[in-house]
Chain A
Amino acid sequence: MNTRSHVLELTVTPVQVEGVIKALFHTILLHRTTGKYSYANPSSGTFSVGTVGVEDVDCTSFDFTYVRCASEELDEWLGDKIKGFTSSLCQQGGTNSGKISLEFFERKKARWLLPPEVVNWEVWHLHLVIIEPSSDQGWHNHTMQLANSLPESILYICEVMNRPEYMPQNPTYENLPNIYDTRFTTIQPYLHNVTYELTGESMAGAVRKLFRNTFAY
C-alpha cells in the first residue's frame, strides 16, 4: 500500500501561523475522527459508535472561521504539537519557511520476533512561507491572498476526503488501538502524529557547515 501524500502551501505572517495550522489540521482531523467505539461483546466483533460534536472556531489573527471536533483534549494536544514549530518559525524573523506534517498511520501486527510495523497511509504536508509586509498595500494584498487561499485549501481537503480511497478496516476489539487513537475520552481519531522541519534552519545549517569545512584547511 502506498502512502497518500497531499501538499498545501500558504503564505502567512508570523502572528497567523498558529491559526492557519489549526484551521487546516482541525479540518483534516474532523474528517478523520469518529465517535467512540463501544463493543457490547468483545468477542462478537459488533460495536456501536458514539456521536461527534462540532464547534465553530473564529480565528483571532485573521477573518476566518473553521469547524473542529468538539474535544478540548484534541485541541490541546494539537496546540502542544505545533507550539514548537510556531515559535521556531516566528523567532527566526525575516522571510522564512517551514513544513509541518500531519501523518495518519496504523500499526501492523508484529511478525515473529519483529516489532509492530508502523505504516503511514495518509500524510498532509503544510508548507508555510512567512512574510512581514512593510506597507499598507502589502498588508492588503496579503489579506486578500489569504482570504482566497484558505477556502481553496479547505475545498481541496474536502474533495480529497470524499474520494473512495483506502481506509483502515474497522478493527476488532483487540486491534482497536492499532487503528484508532483511543486516549481521547469523547472522540476517536485515526492514529496520527505531527512532525515538522524548518527549511530555513536546515539551509543555514548546511551553509555554515560548508564554510566551516572550507576554512578548516
Chain B
Amino acid sequence: MASVEKREFEKYLKYLTLKVVQVVVQSRKGSPLKTKSTPAGRDWFNLSIADDKQVSGELKKTLDGKLPERDNPVCIEIQMETLEGHSLVLEVWSVSLDVSQRDIAVSVTHVLYPRLTVLLKSLLAITRTTPAYRLSRSNEELHFTYKVYLGSPDLSEQQKKDFKHVVFARSGCPMGTISLAVHYQPIITLPDRVPEHSDCTKAEVTSSPANTCNTLELPFLPSTSQSKLSPPTSVHIFGDQLTSKVPYQSQDSNHSNKEESATPDGATISRHPSITLLNHNDGYVVVDYAELKPAFAESGDELGDLLRQCKDVPQLDMFSDESRMDVPAALRLIEDKEDRK
C-alpha cells in the first residue's frame, strides 16, 4: 500500500513540476491566457493548462527522470534582454520537496491531489503580480528567455540581497512537503538606450529599429545607385541575436517544416527554412535578402541585379540609329503593315 502511494506521489510530483514550468514560461510570453472549462475534461489537476512541446522537451532533458528535492529544487529562471543586448535576471521560480517535513495523516489520492490543484491556481495568480509580468505584457522591445535547471537558485550575493523571496504555497503529505517559491526583483530599472552613432553598421546591430540609419528604414526599396544599395546583412545578424534568445517564437510546434537548432543555453530555436522574419514596432517586416529568391530571377541573382536588368529596356528597331526615320515615314510604314493584314 505504501509503495502504491509512493508511486502515485512521484507521478503527481512529476506532472506538477511540468505544469509549474508551463505556467511560469507561458505567463511571460506577453499575451493573455485563455483556456476553456469543460465538464467532461480529464486534464491533470482538473485545470486546463496547455502543454507547450518545446517547454516539455526542455524540461525532460533537464530533469532526466529526477524529481525536485529540498536542496535540489527545480528552478525556472526568467531573463529579460533589451535590444541593446543588456541581459537581466528578473525572477527565479522554484519547486522543491522537503522530505523532513511530513504529514502522515494526508491521503495522497484524496487529499494531496486536490491540494496540488489549489497550489497550481495560486501559481497562476501570483505569476501575474510580479513586475516581470507587467513588463512582458506592455513592452514589445523587451525579450524574455527562460532557463530550467536542477539546483538552488543561481543568484549572485548582490541579487540575493536585492531580490524578494516569497514561499507562497506549501502542501504536506507522508512523503514530505512540496513548496512553490519565487525570488524576484521588486523594482526593475531598464538600462539607458545606446546613443545613435554616425556609423550605420554599429547602429544596425546595437540600437532599436527606430534608431537605425536611413538605408534600413525602407528595406523593400533598394536604390538604383550601387553606392546606396546595401542589402541589410547586418540586420540578418541582428535577427540572429534576437531569434537565438527568443524561444517563444517557436511556439507553433505543429509547423513541421521549421528547422530547430539548440542554443548554448539548451533552449531550442526555430527558423523558417528560407526566410527570417522580424516584427518591428514601426510596422514593417525586415526580410533577409541573402536568402530571398525573387520571381523570374536566375538562381544566384539578387533582387537588385534583377531590377537593374529590367531598367535597361531594349529599344524598338524603328528608333535605332541604323533605321532612323521621321514621323510621317514611320506612320506610313505602320499603315502599310495594317493594309497587308
Residues of chain A touching chain B, judged by Cβ–Cβ distance below 8 Å, are 27, 30-31, 34-36, 38, 48-56, 58, 63-67, 69-71, 150-151, 154-155, 157-159, 161-162, 164, 170, 185-187
Q: Can you list 15 A-B pairs with a CB-CB distance of less than 8 A? A: A27-B125, A30-B124, A35-B41, A53-B48, A54-B48, A55-B35, A151-B130, A154-B125, A154-B126, A158-B169, A161-B121, A162-B115, A162-B168, A164-B106, A186-B36
Interface residues on B, range: 35 or more
B313 contacts which chain A residues (CB < 8 A)?
Answer: none
B244 contacts which chain A residues (CB < 8 A)?
Answer: none
In the docked arrangement, what's the CA distance between A69 and B129, Å? Answer: 17
User: Does A66 contact B39, Cβ atoms closer than 8 Å?
Assistant: no
User: Does A164 contact B137, Cβ atoms closer than 8 Å?
Assistant: no
The answer to whether the Cβ of B333 comes within 8 Å of any Cβ in the partner chain is no
In the docked arrangement, what's the CA distance between A35 and B49, Å? Answer: 14
The answer to whether the Cβ of B226 comes within 8 Å of any Cβ in the partner chain is no
Question: Contacts A50-B41, A53-B34 given; 12 further ones with Cβ under 8 A?
Answer: A52-B48, A53-B36, A54-B33, A54-B49, A54-B121, A65-B134, A67-B33, A67-B124, A70-B48, A158-B125, A161-B122, A186-B39
- The minimal Cβ–Cβ distance linking B115 to chain A, given in whole angstroms, is 7
The answer to whether the Cβ of B166 comes within 8 Å of any Cβ in the partner chain is yes
- The minimal Cβ–Cβ distance linking A55 to chain B, given in whole angstroms, is 4
**With contacts A36-B39, A50-B41, A51-B42 known, is A162 near B33, CB below 8 A?**
no
A65 contacts which chain B residues (CB < 8 A)?
Answer: 32, 128, 133-134, 137
**With contacts A49-B46, A55-B32 known, is A187 near B128, CB below 8 A?**
no
The answer to whether the Cβ of B203 comes within 8 Å of any Cβ in the partner chain is no
In the docked arrangement, what's the CA distance between A71 and B34, Å? Answer: 11
The answer to whether the Cβ of B157 comes within 8 Å of any Cβ in the partner chain is no
Set A30, A48, A70, A151: member contacting B129, Cβ < 8 A: A151
In the docked arrangement, what's the CA distance between A64 and B129, Å? Answer: 8
In the docked arrangement, what's the CA distance between A141 and B281, Å? Answer: 32
- The residue in A51, A56, A164 that gathers the most chain B C-beta atoms within 10 A of its C-beta is A51
User: Does B37 contact A155, Cβ atoms closer than 8 Å?
Assistant: no
- The minimal Cβ–Cβ distance linking A102 to chain B, given in whole angstroms, is 15
Closest partner residue, chain B, to A156 (CB atom): B168
Set B43, B134, B168: member contacting A158, Cβ < 8 A: B168
**With contacts A27-B125, A50-B46, A55-B33 known, is A162 near B169, CB below 8 A?**
yes
Set B33, B47, B118: member contacting A51, Cβ < 8 A: B47
- The residue in B32, B38, B129 that gathers the most chain A C-beta atoms within 10 A of its C-beta is B129
Closest partner residue, chain B, to A150 (CB atom): B129
In the docked arrangement, what's the CA distance between A67 and B137, Å? Answer: 14
In the docked arrangement, what's the CA distance between A49 and B128, Å? Answer: 27
Set B35, B118, B119, B170: member contacting A53, Cβ < 8 A: B35
Give per-residue flags for B166-209: 1 if the beta carbon is below 8 A from chain A beta carbons, else 0: 10111110000000000000000000000000000000000000
Set B110, B125, B133, B137: member contacting A157, Cβ < 8 A: B125
The answer to whether the Cβ of B329 comes within 8 Å of any Cβ in the partner chain is no
- The minimal Cβ–Cβ distance linking B249 to chain A, given in whole angstroms, is 21
User: Does A35 contact B46, Cβ atoms closer than 8 Å?
Assistant: yes
The answer to whether the Cβ of B218 comes within 8 Å of any Cβ in the partner chain is no
A157 contacts which chain B residues (CB < 8 A)?
Answer: 125
User: Does A70 contact B35, Cβ atoms closer than 8 Å?
Assistant: yes
In the docked arrangement, what's the CA distance between A170 and B43, Å? Answer: 19
A185 contacts which chain B residues (CB < 8 A)?
Answer: 39
